Chain A
Amino acid sequence: MNLTLHVWRQNGAKAPGKLEQYEAKNVSPDQSFLEMLDEVNEQLIKNGKEPIVFDHDCREGICGMCSQVINGVPHGGQERTTVCQLHMRSFSDGDTIYIEPWRALAFPILKDLIVDRSNLEKIMQAGGYTSCHTGGVADGNAILVPQPAAEYAMDAAECIGCGACVAACPNGSAMLYTSAKVAQLAVLPQGQAEAAQRVCDMTDAAQAAGFGNCSNHYECQAACPKGVSVKFIAKLNREYQKALFK
């Protein structure tokens, strides 16, 4: 199939950017979206032009690196799918595709489709851990974790930190991301000791990094490639209220 691409090109953080048009010829429906872009880039390089710069790593849908807003939806709008797992069979011959970077104040564009997501790391550094003395390897079941708590924590831990929630949010808020990290540790015995401090520090770090406030649009959950639920935001809100009284 043949496609018309409109891709955001920006030659650096300070440079002005604009959409440029490219033709993708003879695209196989079995290719992933990133493989399609690889071929477009090969053509650009052959023609002596600068290739389109985009983030990618595992190409298995688990690393959270690929970050493109495709036709107005982070990761392209196929439910629970990252860009690398989005296949060209979900497009039709002759389609026009708009490809843009994540856009949020806290995600400055570095080049073309790559944004700086280190602000998500600042949230993690503020409290996305448990403090403990390391020593010899502990027995597997020394700390008992109830099965429902383990399942709940695993659902929250599905978050791959890609930032699609921020890109989709009309407020540029990282509340779904922050809540997944807070909730994951809040239900586990190991996370109890620092729970109150954690929720305050992580939400403060999000605010300080320039992420917006959550106003319950739920665009984040709809765009999340891992289907992380906004129930974790409700959990974060509960944890926050508990922390207010400590």
Chain B
Amino acid sequence: MRILTSSVGRKILMSITGQLLIIFVLIHLIGNSTIFFGPNGINAYAKHLHDLPPLVWAFRLFMLAAVSVHICYGVMLTLENKAANPGAYAVKRNLKKSFASENMIWTGVLLAGFIIYHLLQFTVHGTPDIVVGLDAANRVDVFKMVVTSFGHGLISVTYMAAMVMLFLHLSHGIPSFLQTMGWNNEKTIPVYATGGKVISAILMVAYISIPAVILAGLLKL
């Protein structure tokens, strides 16, 4: 299987899995934003989502596979690239590469850590801040759980910092996946560079708005 071992093939796999993760980030944001409609918004959304367990588990396994491929090849390619460049210049001036492009592995590692924490917290309910209960309509009270947890300043700040990592990762990731798929030409290169930053910034602000609004007391129990 050429695609699994070659330089360009593995890059294409990074790109495709990256696109799947970006689609997930978009859908997850739309789902999360139901919190702004109060308990009847996000609790109903969560109930609909979990009413079909086989579908939920199929989706979870699919995302786990995508994120695993993305992480494995990301680490493998980074190690190979470090080895290919002894990096021994006494003086090196970079003309183009950005903080985001240079630190993809580190923003990626931090995001992976954040995903584990996020799943432990809101999916497994394994962190001490979690309040699990049922609402008036006998649904799992996701609204109460999220608002209580984000009421802790440190938790909210952790989420906000993670979204800054997401911004950095995607501001290089979005133009990069377009280039890797070959959906690029001389005219679109600068458009994608700017577009990638703008879309990443919108996603970051939108995600941060949830803990920010709760922390500001605008969304409360």
CB < 8 Å A-B pair total = 140
**Chain B residue with Cβ nearest A17:** B88
Q: Which of A8, A204, A215 contacts B101 (CB 8 A)?
A: A215
Q: Name B1-23 residues within 8 Å CB distance of A.
A: 2-3, 6-12
The size class of the interface chain A forms with chain B is 35 or more
A212 to B86, CA, bound (A): 11
Q: Knowing that A203-B7, A213-B10, A229-B189 are A-B contacts, what are 19 other residue pairs whose CB atoms are under 8 Å apart, sorted by A's residue number?
A: A8-B90, A100-B89, A100-B91, A103-B87, A103-B88, A104-B85, A104-B86, A171-B81, A173-B81, A203-B8, A206-B7, A207-B7, A212-B81, A212-B84, A215-B77, A218-B96, A237-B11, A240-B8, A244-B2
The chain A residue with its CB closest to the CB of B178 is A234
Complex Cα gap A213–B183 (Å): 19
Closest A residue, CB atoms, query B187: A231
For A178-201 the 0/1 string (1 means CB < 8 A from B) is 000000000000000000000110
Task: Verify A73–B85 contact, CB threshold 8 A.
Answer: no
Contacts of B7 in A (CB 8 A): 175, 203, 206-207, 213-214
Chain A residues with Cβ under 8 A from B51's Cβ? none
For A200, the chain B residues whose CB sits under 8 A away are 2, 6
Please report which residues of chain B, range 90-104, place their CB below 8 angstroms from some CB of chain A when the two chains form the complex: 90-98, 101-102, 104
Q: Answer yes or no: B175 CB below 8 A from chain A CBs.
A: yes
- B85 CB contacts on chain A under 8 angstroms: 103-105, 169-172, 212
- Give the residues in chain B near A238, CB-CB below 8 Å: 182
Please state if A216 and B175 are interface contacts (CB–CB under 8 Å): yes
Check if A156 is an interface residue, CB within 8 A of chain B: no
- Could you tell me which A residues sit within 8 Å of B by CB distance? 6, 8, 19, 69, 71-73, 77, 98, 100, 103-106, 168-173, 175, 199-200, 203-204, 206-207, 210-219, 221-223, 229-231, 233-238, 240-241, 244
Pairwise interchain contact B92-A72, C-beta atoms closer than 8 A: yes
Cβ of A98: which chain B residues have Cβ within 8 Å of it?
A: 90-91
B182 touches A216 (CB 8 A): no
A78 → B minimal CB distance (Å):
11
Are A237 and B89 closer than 8 Å at their CB atoms? Answer: no
Contacts of B86 in A (CB 8 A): 103-105, 172
Return chain B residues, CB-CB under 8 Å to A230. 179, 189
If A172-B81, A218-B97 touch, whether A234 touches B183 (CB-CB below 8 Å) is: yes
**Which single member of B2, B83, B104, B183 contacts A215 (CB below 8 Å)?**
B104
Q: Which 9 A-B pairs have the closest CB atoms?
A: A212-B84, A238-B182, A72-B93, A171-B81, A222-B95, A172-B84, A172-B85, A217-B97, A234-B184
Contact B97 A233 (CB under 8 A): no
- Determine if B184 and A72 form an interchain contact, defined as CB atoms under 8 angstroms apart: no
In whole angstroms, what is the CA distance A173 to B83 when docked?
A: 11
Chain B residues with Cβ under 8 A from A229's Cβ?
Answer: 186, 189
Residues of B within 8 A of A170 (CB): 81, 85, 87, 94, 97, 102
Contacting residue for B96 out of A206, A215, A221, A237, CB 8 A: A221
Q: Inside 8 A of B186's CB, which chain A residues have their CB? A: 229, 231
Q: Within 8 Å of chain A (Cβ to Cβ): is B65?
A: no
Query: Would you call the interface of chain A mostly helix, strand, loop, or mixed?
Result: mixed
Contact (Cβ within 8 A) B84 A231? no
Chain A neighbourhood of B185, CB < 8 A:
231, 234
Contact of A19 with B175 at beta-carbon distance under 8 Å, contacts A172-B85, A207-B7, A215-B77 already known: no
Within the assembled complex, what's the spacing in Å between the Cα atoms of A99 and B77?
30
Given known contacts A206-B7, A244-B2, is B80 in contact with A212 (CB within 8 Å)? yes
7 of the cross-chain contacts (CB-CB < 8 Å) are: A199-B8, A213-B7, A215-B77, A215-B176, A216-B179, A237-B179, A241-B12
Expressed in whole angstroms, the Cα–Cα distance for A165 and B2 within the complex equals 25
> Is B2 within 8 A of A219, CB to CB?
no
Q: How far is the CA of A173 from the CA of B10 in the complex (A)?
A: 15
Closest to A222 in B: B95
Chain A's closest residue to B193 (CB) is A218
Report Cα–Cα, A217/B95, bound state, in Å.
10
**A215 x B179 contact (CB < 8 A):** no
Using A105-B85, A214-B7 as known contacts, say yes or no to A234 and B90 having CB atoms under 8 A apart. Answer: no
Query: Contacts A103-B86, A229-B186, A233-B179; is A77 near B6 (CB within 8 Å)?
Result: no
